[in-house]
Amino acid sequence: MIGYITLGTNDIDKATEFYEALLSEIGAKRVVNEDHLKMWSVARGQPMLGVIKPHNGEAATFGNGTMPALLLDSTETVTKMHAKAIELGGTDEGAPGPRGGGQLFFGYFRDPEGHKIAFYAPNKAKD
């Protein structure tokens, strides 16, 4: 049901550099490349994640309680992507591990502008 999610940015170049490097790790490619908006997806017709300079010209802020969660293929990929986000200048918001009774495996981080993001995958070790 979700087509895309955008995260506000005050520095489109820095945000683009961060997400380009991070999302390329899972094969995502930039599919929108406007001056004020950049978006990535793993395949045509799949959900997109983007960064955008707010249309109203006001400062972008992160939303308290807003958290996109990106479904990945394995717990190993969650761990790898969480580490990559930290390496690129993100901050840890919850080390990779089982959550919710162990059925799912999550890793949480904040990007350089403070947006909270989760990577998750089914926890096959629980099966």
Domain ranges of the chain: 4-55+67-126
pLDDT of residue 51: 97
CA dist 33 and 16 (Å) reads 10
Mean pLDDT of the chain: 95
CA dist 33 and 125 (Å) reads 39
**Domain covering 4-55+67-126: architecture:** Roll (3.10)
Q: What is the pLDDT of residues 7-62, one digit of tens each?
A: 999 999 999 999 999 999 999 999 999 999 999 999 989 999 999 999 999 999 98
pLDDT of residue 100: 81
pLDDT of residue 126: 64
Predicted model pTM: 0.91
127: pLDDT strictly greater than 60? no
CB 23 within 8 Å of CB 40: yes
CB 78 within 8 Å of CB 119: yes
5 HSE (CA, 13 A, CB side): 14
